[in-house]
Amino acid sequence: MTPTITGFRASPDRGRGLARDMRVRWAFEEVGQAYDVRLLSFAEMKEPAHLALQPFGQIPTYEEGDLTLFDSSAIVLHIAERHVGLLPDDANARARAITWMFAAVSTMEPTIVEREAAFFLERDEAWYEQRLTAVVGRIRNRLDQLSRHLGDAEWLDGGFSAGDLLMVSVLLRLGSSGILADYPNLAAYVARGEARPAYARAFAAQLAVFNASGAA
């Protein structure tokens, strides 16, 4: 059965691949699993039918038969566990790859999202610049640590895994900030992720949705 996910009918990122359906699309492409997408407006995301699938009224969701999931990292883990290609066979290496999945969304992503939230919600406040400086300091602290760990390696722990898929997805959210340019090994790491054919297919698919939305 072909799984169905949900995504924005007209993504606020204007097709830059930053909404969280992108990481799920990328995972599907990496393992060669076909998928369908149900597109939703913001209003539809808050309706009972969608809230029954995603209690927070967000995208993405995942439906396959009688299984419904939400939260992009849980969906990526589900895909990675059921297909070959995103998690190593060796039990310890697999556990480490899953550790990197959690680290991406629980250690790296919160500060990065905090910067976006400050920009969108607080940029007119008198204290915005002070707050931004503090948030960017926290982001840089995490990037320093991640950059030291990665060193000259291609991926976080051996071959490409779902941990890298989520970490690259998270770091891409820094795109327009210019911050990543100060970390050449992380910038190259992100570029390696973007260069993967599966990433390119997923990116093109979500961009086609935005271009067809009439919001372009």
By the criterion CB under 6 A, which residues form the site for ligand GTB? 12-13, 18-20, 57-60, 71-73
Work out how close the CB of 171 gets to ligand GTB at its nearest, in angstroms, rounded to a whole number.
Answer: 13
Tokens 């995972």, located at residue: 27
Which residues lie below 8 Å from residue 157, measured CB to CB, with a gap of 6+? 93, 96, 97, 100, 163
Closer of 20 and 146 to ligand GTB (Cβ): 20
Helix, strand, or coil (residue 62): strand
Q: Which lies closer to ligand GTB via its Cβ, residue 22 or residue 186?
A: 22
Residue 57 phi/psi, 5-degree rounding, is 70, 35
Is residue 202 within 8 Å of 1, Cβ to Cβ?
no
The CB-of-34 to ligand GTB minimum distance in angstroms stands at: 21
Q: Which is nearer to ligand GTB, 170 or 198 (CB)?
A: 170
Residue 50 or 186 having the CB closest to ligand GTB: 50
Residue 168 C-beta: closest distance to ligand GTB, Å:
15
Residue 52, classed as helix, strand or coil, is coil
Cα torsion through 85, 91, 97, 101, rounded to 10: 100
Lookup: tokens for 53? 């699938």
DSSP for residue 161: -
Q: Kindly tell me which of 188 and 216 has the beta carbon lying closer to ligand GTB.
A: 216
Would you say 86 and 80 are in contact if contact means Cβ atoms under 8 Å apart?
Answer: yes
Q: Round to whole Å and give the CA distance between 96 and 161.
A: 10
Residue 139 Cβ vs ligand GTB, minimum distance, rounded to whole Å: 16
Tell me the closest approach of the beta carbon of residue 215 to ligand GTB, in angstroms. 12
